[in-house]
């Protein structure tokens, strides 16, 4: 069913996301955004904070400049249900490129720091990109993602995106994965044509499952094995916007783990639309810390 023909219970999460991206202007370069009160989560979803920070930046940039990259650091876990204030610093306004720095604040403390760069579109005959894998099944042949437990089912219900898990890629003789998470995703209902809002929604989606992709080499293909055995948190996140995007159409997100060491896992990802056009790339590093058994904690006590 096309995204714009989804029933009300499917449109509501997208409407909620659009409301959260409709920031309140408090003063020049100062904005406030709401976030949902999450019963099951102790901190705000990082993708929402990044999307709102990017939205705050776009509100200070000429509309003919489009985001081409963002680089952010998650400094503290945000508190669900409490508004976040976004301070925008106009670093540079150029004819071709514009730069903004955004600091997201709760209780007077920074929870997220981001630099975003914008570019005025240019005519260029150069066009190269990596392609889709030849054996990739189309989204209609992939089952909807299944909930792991009641908490995950609630998150999926409230998520603005529908996802279909293709599964990890092949593992070579050295134990190296070609991909550690492959998933089709799209918004559950239609989004406005505004390319800036589309980019912000994509920023939200890039944080979905990045930590999952990082833990596969540590805990194996069934990453549910990691639950209760580790603590994790996104540390930093970067996105490059290569081409126009419509996140209310199907896109393929291919992530693979690059490194795991010193309790940190690094992943890279690419996002293609269904026609094989590369629209974005992502990198993220996350804290992945194994939990010690209670008996060991007592001994170290």
Given a contact cutoff of 8 angstroms between Cβ atoms, the answer to whether 232 and 215 are in contact is yes
Tokens of 158: 């409230």
Q: Which of 6, 52, 198, 234 is flagged as catalytic?
A: 234
Contact 260/288 with Cβ under 8 angstroms? Answer: yes
- SS3 of 241, please? strand
- DSSP, collapsed to helix, strand or coil, labels residue 213 as helix
Q: Among positive and negative, which fits the CA dihedral 146, 286, 185, 270?
A: negative
Active site residue 16: no
Catalytic residue among 207, 248, 254, 273: 207
Q: Tell me, yes or no, if 232 is annotated catalytic.
A: no
Strand bridging mode 278-290 / 109-119:
unpaired
Beta bridge partners of 79: none
For 55-111, give the DSSP string.
Answer: HHHHTTS-TT-EEEEEEEEE-SPPPTTS-EEEEEEEEEE-SSEEEEEEEEEETTEEE
179 a catalytic residue: no
Q: Where are the alpha helices (DSSP H) in the chain?
A: 8-21, 46-58, 150-158, 195-206, 210-219, 294-300
State the first-to-last Cα distance of the chain, in angstroms, to the nearest integer.
55
Q: What is the set of active-site residues?
A: 207, 234, 284
């Amino acid at each position: 069913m096309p995204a714009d023909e989804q029933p009300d219970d499917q449109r509501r999460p997208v409407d909620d996301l659009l409301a959260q991206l409709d920031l309140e202007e408090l003063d020049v370069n100062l904005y406030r955004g709401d976030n949902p009160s999450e019963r099951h989560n102790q901190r705000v979803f990082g993708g929402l904070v990044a999307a709102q920070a990017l939205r705050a930046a776009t509100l200070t940039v000429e509309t003919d400049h489009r985001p081409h990259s963002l680089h952010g650091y998650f400094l503290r876990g945000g508190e669900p249900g409490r508004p976040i204030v976004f301070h925008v610093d106009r670093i540079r306004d150029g004819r071709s490129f514009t730069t903004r720095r955004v600091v997201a604040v709760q209780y007077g403390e920074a929870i997220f720091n981001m630099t975003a760069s914008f570019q005025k579109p240019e005519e260029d005959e150069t066009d190269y990109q990596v392609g889709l894998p030849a054996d990739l099944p189309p989204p209609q042949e992939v089952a909807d993602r299944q909930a792991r437990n009641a908490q995950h089912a609630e998150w999926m219900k409230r998520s603005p995106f529908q996802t279909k898990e293709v599964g990890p890629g092949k593992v070579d003789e050295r134990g190296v994965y070609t991909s550690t998470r492959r998933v089709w995703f799209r918004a559950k209902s239609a989004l406005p044509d505004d390319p800036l809002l589309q980019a912000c929604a994509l920023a939200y989606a890039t944080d979905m499952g990045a930590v999952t992709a990082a833990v596969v080499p540590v805990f194996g293909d069934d990453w549910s094995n990691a639950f209760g055995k580790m603590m994790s948190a996104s540390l930093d996140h970067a996105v490059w916007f290569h081409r126009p995007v419509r996140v209310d159409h199907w896109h393929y997100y291919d992530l693979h783990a690059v490194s795991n060491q010193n309790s940190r896992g690094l992943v890279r990802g690419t996002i293609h639309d269904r026609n094989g056009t590369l629209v974005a790339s992502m990198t993220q590093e996350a804290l992945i810390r194994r939990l010690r058994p209670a008996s060991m904690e007592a001994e170290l006590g």
